[in-house]
């Protein structure tokens, strides 16, 4: 019987012009592993056959992939709600126009209130200005299409909360700037950086991970920001407890499949464990392996022990080293300690 999976996350490349200290995929510092077009279209066939409702296209920088727009258009035309996550490093007008025909939503990642914070977190000077210029272009294209009666994406800002970027006064001035510069913005979403990839490293944990209590407190901050902004933009803070890796209460049990750039299927979105490759094996065969991994006593025991963000980072490091491929393990061991950002 065909397996049905509601949501896919597909990192379509590990190529990226940025070098974010918290990157979940260590993109830009490892082989891109991008599929060729034909193989990518076969992945899409699998996703459509699984009756997906939502697909998040991420990376790496997904818009650096030549077949990305075609891929998103195919998913979109199949009735799937596609969201693309981009740094906004490059957003020509023609790309924004094509996205209007290819996706339901565009999220531009901005992780600091100004260039000093954002560019340090993102590891490349100019990243903040380029992200805002991308939002300018997305905004302009959306207004033009609306004026001519055409449909368009929703677009907004995906803001990852590190300790460096989470001061309330900074967030206030960022929201004020964003709603003034982009009055047609649909959303600003603040979400905790979670311990995955480089963000699971010990130095990052010590310097940049917020505690669960701090993150829960950010929900009230988000409500204050929304009240102060007093506009149509949907301003929200994701409740991190939803993502805590405890079976029975979190996304652990949801039907979310995470595909790596070469087609490898992860057992769980934020960990390096793989159960096979979607190009070599059917989802009917792979999905029970995902379920089995998630209920493995070692995995469950580690996840159930998580009470703090530090516990979670420890769990992520343990799972990555136990279940990652030999390449993953070698790469993890070679990681340099991420830079310390906080004063």
**Residue numbers at the binding site for ligand SF4 (CB under 6 A):** 16, 18-20, 23, 25, 27-28, 59-61, 87, 122
Q: Residue 290: which of 270, 259, 267 has the closest Cα?
A: 267
Measured from the CB atom, is 199 or 273 closer to ligand SF4?
Answer: 199
Measured from the CB atom, is 58 or 225 closer to ligand SF4?
Answer: 58
Contact 2, 50 (CB under 8 A): yes
Find residue 157's DSSP bridge partners.
108, 188
Q: Residue 5: which of 42, 55, 41, 43 has the closest Cα?
A: 55
Question: Would you tell me how many other CB atoms lie within 10 Å of the CB of residue 303?
Answer: 21
Measured from the CB atom, is 15 or 75 closer to ligand SF4?
Answer: 15
Pairing mode, strands 7-11 and 256-259: parallel
CA atoms of 230 and 226, how far apart (whole Å): 6
Measured from the CB atom, is 13 or 293 closer to ligand SF4?
Answer: 13
CA torsion sign for 63, 16, 104, 151 is negative
Query: What are phi and psi for residue 20, nearest 5 degrees?
Result: -60, 140
- State in angstroms the smallest separation of the CB of 311 from ligand SF4: 23
Q: Residue 275: which of 288, 262, 41 has the closest Cα?
A: 288
Measured from the CB atom, is 130 or 314 closer to ligand SF4?
Answer: 130
- State in angstroms the smallest separation of the CB of 197 from ligand SF4: 8
Measured from the CB atom, is 61 or 260 closer to ligand SF4?
Answer: 61
- State in angstroms the smallest separation of the CB of 25 from ligand SF4: 6
CA atoms of 145 and 307, how far apart (whole Å): 48
CA atoms within 13 A on the CB side of 308: 8
- State in angstroms the smallest separation of the CB of 227 from ligand SF4: 30
Measured from the CB atom, is 25 or 162 closer to ligand SF4?
Answer: 25
- State in angstroms the smallest separation of the CB of 328 from ligand SF4: 16
CA atoms of 9 and 224, how far apart (whole Å): 31
- State in angstroms the smallest separation of the CB of 207 from ligand SF4: 17
- State in angstroms the smallest separation of the CB of 58 from ligand SF4: 7
Q: Residue 88: which of 58, 125, 27, 133 has the closest Cα?
A: 133
Q: Residue 156: which of 116, 114, 190, 124 has the closest Cα?
A: 190
Measured from the CB atom, is 89 or 293 closer to ligand SF4?
Answer: 89
- State in angstroms the smallest separation of the CB of 88 from ligand SF4: 9
Q: Which two structure tokens, joined as six digits, stand for 338?
A: 């991420």
């Amino acid at each position: 019987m065909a397996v049905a999976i509601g949501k896919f996350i597909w990192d379509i490349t590990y190529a990226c012009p940025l070098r974010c200290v918290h990157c979940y995929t260590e993109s830009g510092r490892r082989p891109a592993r991008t599929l060729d077009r034909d193989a990518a279209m076969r992945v899409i066939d699998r996703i459509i056959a699984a009756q997906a409702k939502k697909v998040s296209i991420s990376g790496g920088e997904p818009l650096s992939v030549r077949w990305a727009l075609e891929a998103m258009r195919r998913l979109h035309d199949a009735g799937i709600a596609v969201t693309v996550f981009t740094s906004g490093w490059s957003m020509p007008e023609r790309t924004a126009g094509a996205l209007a025909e290819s996706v339901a939503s565009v999220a531009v990642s901005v992780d600091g209130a100004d260039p000093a914070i954002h560019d340090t977190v993102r590891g490349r000077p100019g990243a903040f200005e380029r992200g805002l210029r991308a939002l300018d272009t997305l905004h302009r294209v959306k207004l033009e299409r609306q004026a001519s009666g055409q449909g368009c994406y929703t677009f907004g800002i995906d803001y990852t909360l590190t300790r460096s970027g989470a001061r309330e006064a900074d967030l206030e001035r960022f929201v004020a700037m964003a709603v003034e510069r982009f009055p047609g913005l649909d959303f600003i979403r603040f979400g905790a950086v979670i311990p995955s990839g480089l963000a699971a490293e010990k130095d990052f944990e010590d310097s940049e991970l917020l505690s669960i209590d701090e993150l829960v407190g950010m929900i009230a901050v988000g409500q204050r920001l929304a009240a102060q902004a007093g506009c149509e933009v949907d301003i929200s803070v994701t409740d991190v407890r939803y993502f805590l890796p405890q079976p029975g209460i979190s996304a652990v049990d949801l039907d979310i499949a995470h595909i790596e750039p070469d087609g490898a299927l992860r057992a769980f979105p934020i960990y390096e464990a793989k159960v096979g490759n979607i190009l070599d094996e059917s989802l009917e065969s792979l999905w029970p392996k995902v379920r089995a991994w998630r209920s493995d006593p070692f995995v469950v025991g580690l996840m159930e022990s998580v009470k703090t963000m530090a516990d979670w980072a420890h769990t992520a490091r343990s799972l990555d080293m136990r279940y990652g491929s030999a390449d993953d393990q070698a790469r993890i061991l070679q990681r340099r300690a991420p830079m310390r950002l906080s004063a």
